[in-house]
Chain A
């Protein structure tokens, strides 16, 4: 069985998740003694290819067309590449851009697509493991077709290492310009006044706080610890705190000495942005996935525990 992995890059850099993609693809290809093919589309393909040429990569197919990611170009190029390579599985990262073209490739080729895989196996057919209900339940899906498209969750596989001696093959994709109907005109970085990535201690608050007025109790805790206040997305979306306080996939990645998550469930988009030395979670749901990443936890009502903690800290 051949696996085709489509690498991801952005603004001149190959994204690290591309190397995780290679590891996931290799494992799948190994299960059937198959080949590992990699596709890289647009940008500085020579430089990307050098990094993608890892151990056990058989072929790197390059498509020289344009600079940045454009989903109309990717859709056409990857569809043609799948038709040429005929892989059993085509894989891409489960990122904003991965999800921006692979469903269209699947639709065009009429092959099933499953997204956000956390495990993959192959034994006569492809089996995909993925999460439901914000990570509280897992499911396995069997896909019984000649071909399938899958996106893999970042952070779920190691990064492929070693250097390989892959064949580098320029793929002559025919891009129909009239079918390119979106134009990237620029990028914009979202800044702010507070850099939560710089903070040693963060108190992060989530939807469990229920209202803007209730923020007072986490403010008090943050003050007692001389900590910086951060938040999960719903708190920002509701306008209760400014955007520069958001931790997670679309916000900031933080690496404080201490992170206290209050009323945050722990979805992947949030916890992928936290690398704390010590991680404390307060949540009244014992099954909340936040306890999977926490070092210490209390399963109780935050409106009871947080004020009690603040009092303890101000007393001592």
Chain B
């Protein structure tokens, strides 16, 4: 079985950061393999290990994300594809439908049996790319999957709200968005990391994928980026751990929960 896993790099802002216009300077940002994609990758790699097959990753992003792509290679992906060019770089934001169009073209080129994605990207949190992608492809889909058995169909558990799971059978081919906790993602060995450093990353432009620029023109414009105004009314204690602990202990005693 051939499984394509979509992989994105997520950014998180550091404790101290500044916003300059619509940008946060990269020195205030840490990057990592998106948490949800790490679980999607592990699920695909385990299936390939158990039953044979190939795991290919697909990432839309500039050259700077190759470190993250290599992490995925070190954790068991066989090949990696990265899509980027000037047209993509010129977009205001990479919105879900644009991502679906581009990833859809990669799926068309690769013809995998299944596509695994993460439930959401940790920074943009759209949570919309997987279903948009399935729809572009005309494939079936299953989202927020925290348990998976594959035979002629995919038997999935979808994690709903409030400790409730929906049991669903999804026809194949399908796009499945994978939820954290479905497995325990592995740590790459030093040997795998070294091997991944040397691996070739297949880089493609929109033209390579037969996509024209109009197909990716996004009508969404970012107009502001700011730190939310604090609406909280928390009393914050300062001082040494002993001092703050004394304050907290007093608050706790006040609540009367200690009997």
Query: Residues of A with Cβ closer than 8 Å to B?
Result: 10, 71-72, 75, 94-97, 99-104, 106-108, 110, 112-116, 127, 131-145, 181-191, 200-201, 225-226, 233-234, 236-239, 249-253, 257-258, 277-278, 280-281, 284-287, 291-301, 304-305, 308-309, 311-313, 316
Contact = CB atoms under 8 A, between A and B. Distances in A.
Nearest to A126: B220
Contacts of B88: none
Interface stretch (B1-9, B76-84, B238-246): B238-246
A133 B11 contact: yes
B234 A291 contact: yes
Contact of B132 (A113, A181, A285, A300): A113
A94 B93 CA distance: 20
Contacts of A251: 163
B220 A143 contact: yes
B40 to A, nearest CB: 14
A250 B248 contact: no
B134 A305 contact: no
B230 A296 contact: no
Contacts of A140: 222-224
Given A103-B131, A133-B13, A295-B235, 8 more contacts: A71-B131, A107-B131, A133-B123, A186-B167, A277-B255, A296-B251, A298-B248, A308-B241
Nearest to B139: A181
B201 interface: no
Nearest to A315: B249
B131 A137 contact: no
B218 interface: yes
Interface in B6-54: 11-13, 15, 19, 24
A299 B252 contact: no
B28 to A, nearest CB: 10
B144 interface: yes
Most buried by B among A110, A258, A286, A296: A296
Interface string B131-152: 1101110001111100000000
Interface in B144-168: 144, 157-168
B86 interface: no
A-B interface, 10 closest residue pairs, ranked by CB to CB distance from nearest: A308-B245, A237-B181, A292-B232, A181-B140, A103-B131, A107-B135, A104-B135, A312-B249, A304-B241, A103-B128
Nearest to B232: A292
B237 A297 contact: yes
Given A182-B140, A182-B169, A104 B131 contact: yes
A112 B19 contact: no
B257 A308 contact: no
Nearest to A114: B220
A39 to B, nearest CB: 18
Interface stretch (B61-69, B94-102, B204-212): B94-102
7 contacts: A96-B160, A100-B131, A106-B128, A116-B125, A292-B231, A308-B245, A313-B252
A115 B227 contact: no
A138 B228 contact: yes
Contacts of A234: 180
B223 A116 contact: no
Contacts of A100: 131, 143-144, 158
Contacts of B225: 132, 137-139
A106 B135 CA distance: 9
A246 to B, nearest CB: 8
Nearest to A266: B232
Contact of A131 (B125, B136, B143): B125
Nearest to A305: B241
A96 B142 CA distance: 11
A115 B127 contact: yes
Contact of A142 (B167, B169, B221, B256): B221
A16 to B, nearest CB: 11
A188 B24 contact: no
A129 to B, nearest CB: 8
Contacts of A293: 232
B90 interface: no
Nearest to B184: A239
Contacts of A115: 96, 125-128
B236 interface: yes
B162 A139 contact: no
Nearest to A302: B241
B135 A103 contact: yes
Contact of A137 (B13, B219, B258): B13
Given A237-B181, A291-B234, A299-B236, A99 B128 contact: yes
B136 to A, nearest CB: 6
A104 B231 contact: no
B257 A257 contact: yes
A252 B162 contact: yes
Contacts of A294: 232, 234
A187 B221 contact: no
